[in-house]
């Protein structure tokens, strides 16, 4: 269906900021394109990092993968029905499709004997396949080439403009505010849903609401990293943050910081290294953060575990 996005390389800047000895840190504040891409990637990292913590703790990481792939037919249908390439229109379509896929998965697992992993696999395959069929059919549309719908497969962060940042903020900021307002409820739902139900909390409603917030997080990242890589934005920051702390509040803050930092660094790497796409660069930065966390984090890191075993064995030798 098409290749990766065009990388955010120095040649894409009209002023070629790095060609005159300008430092990347300076260019972050002075160059419009790099600043816009970095802000968008950082916002995505914060939103997906925060919501990803709850997905990881509730063992719903694969749900995020299924919903991100399920958003593709929503994008195609939104364009087909409206004929508009406005980012808000396309992301509304993506949000509706991903939300319906999540409800379908929950409904299948509760109303049948089909296991959750099987429901996830079936829903992901059906929705994503339907989306690819729609994209193929839309190639006959006179405006399909200009619409650039295929960029939602892998993202096109280099094409972000201020309007896109506004749409991302309209989706992501309310999701973060909802997490803040319902912090105690989401915390209890993630660690002990049975106890939450015994207290009279509407656990079913809270579960659907939290899933819906994950959908919003996915929608904010489709244009930046695409449906294929979006699941990594949800899982990697949370998985890395979990290695460093046992407190949910600290985990959420660390995940938001890891996501934002990887977004900015990935944008700078894409701008300085030719042939490197922004979305994959951000995901690779998150991968590096996760690997370092798995190896070096106190108490949970692999190297820490090896050192502790040797300390236990040493007195016995």
Between these two residues, 17 and 61, which has the higher pLDDT value? 61
Between these two residues, 85 and 71, which has the higher pLDDT value? 71
Give the angle subtended at the CA of 48 by the CAs of 92 and 73, to the nearest 5°.
Answer: 35
Whole-Å CA distances, 151 to 10, 20, 279: 20, 31, 11
Between these two residues, 85 and 80, which has the higher pLDDT value? 80
What is the chain's Cα-based Rg? 21
Residues with Cβ within 8 Å of 22's Cβ and at least 6 positions away in sequence, in order, are: 30
Q: Look up tokens 């890891």; give the residue.
A: 258
Three-state secondary structure call for residue 85: coil
Separation of alpha carbons 42 and 288, rounded Å: 17
Whether residue 244 has pLDDT greater than 90? yes
Whether residue 65 has pLDDT greater than 50? yes
Task: Give the ranges where 155-202 is alpha helix by DSSP (H).
Answer: 162-181, 183-191, 193-198
Residue 175's CB is within 10 A of a number of other CB atoms, namely 21
pLDDT in tens, 251-308: 999 999 999 999 999 988 888 877 778 888 999 999 999 999 999 888 888 887 777 7
Whether residue 160 has pLDDT greater than 90? no
Count H helices and E strands in the chain, helices first. 14, 0
The percentage of residues in the chain with a pLDDT greater than 90, rounded to a whole number, is 29
CB 70 within 8 A of CB 124: yes
Cα dihedral sign for 194, 195, 198, 200?
A: negative
Dig out the tokens for 88 from the structure. Answer: 């808000």
Give the architecture-level CATH label for domain 10-316. Answer: Orthogonal Bundle (1.10)
Residues with Cβ within 8 Å of 124's Cβ and at least 6 positions away in sequence, in order, are: 65, 66, 69, 70, 101
Q: Which of 230, 224, 226 is nearest to 63 (CA)?
A: 230
Separation of alpha carbons 169 and 148, rounded Å: 22
Dig out the tokens for 21 from the structure. Answer: 């000895």
What is the model's pTM? Answer: 0.82
Q: What is the mean pLDDT of the chain?
A: 83
Residue 83's pLDDT is 77
Whether residue 10 has pLDDT greater than 50? no
Q: Look up tokens 């929950």; give the residue.
A: 106
Whole-Å CA distances, 59 to 41, 102, 108, 232, 311: 25, 14, 17, 15, 33
pLDDT in tens, 190-231: 999 899 899 889 988 998 899 889 888 888 888 888 888 888
Phi, psi of 109 (to 5 degrees): -70, -30
């Amino acid at each position: 269906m098409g290749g990766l996005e065009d990388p955010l390389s120095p040649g894409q800047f009209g002023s070629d900021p790095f060609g005159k000895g300008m430092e990347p840190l300076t260019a972050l504040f002075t160059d419009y394109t790099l600043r816009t891409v970095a802000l968008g990637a950082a916002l995505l990292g914060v939103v997906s990092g925060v919501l990803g913590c709850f997905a990881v703790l509730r063992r719903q990481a694969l749900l995020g993968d299924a919903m991100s792939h399920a958003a593709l037919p929503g994008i195609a249908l939104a364009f087909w029905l409206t004929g508009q390439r406005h980012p808000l229109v396309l992301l509304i379509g993506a949000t509706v499709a991903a939300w319906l896929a999540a409800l379908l998965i929950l409904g299948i697992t509760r109303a049948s004997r089909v296991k959750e992993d099987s429901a996830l696999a079936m829903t992901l395959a059906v929705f994503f396949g339907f989306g690819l069929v729609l994209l193929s059919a839309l190639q006959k549309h006179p405006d399909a080439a200009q619409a650039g719908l295929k960029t939602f497969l892998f993202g096109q962060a280099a094409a972000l403009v201020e309007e896109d940042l506004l749409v991302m903020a309209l989706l992501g900021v309310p999701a973060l505010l909802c997490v803040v307002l319902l912090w105690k409820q989401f915390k209890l739902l993630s660690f002990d849903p049975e106890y939450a139900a015994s207290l009279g909390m509407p656990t079913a409603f809270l579960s659907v609401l939290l899933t819906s917030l994950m959908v919003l997080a996915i929608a904010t990242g489709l244009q930046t990293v695409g449906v294929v890589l979006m699941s990594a934005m949800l899982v990697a920051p949370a998985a890395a943050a979990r290695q460093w702390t046992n407190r949910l509040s600290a985990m959420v803050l660390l995940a938001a910081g890891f996501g934002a930092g990887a977004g900015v660094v990935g944008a700078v790497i894409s701008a300085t290294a030719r042939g490197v796409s922004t979305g994959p660069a951000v995901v690779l930065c998150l991968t590096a953060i996760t690997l370092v966390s798995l190896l070096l984090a106190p108490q949970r890191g692999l190297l820490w575990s090896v050192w502790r075993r040797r300390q236990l064995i040493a007195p016995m030798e």
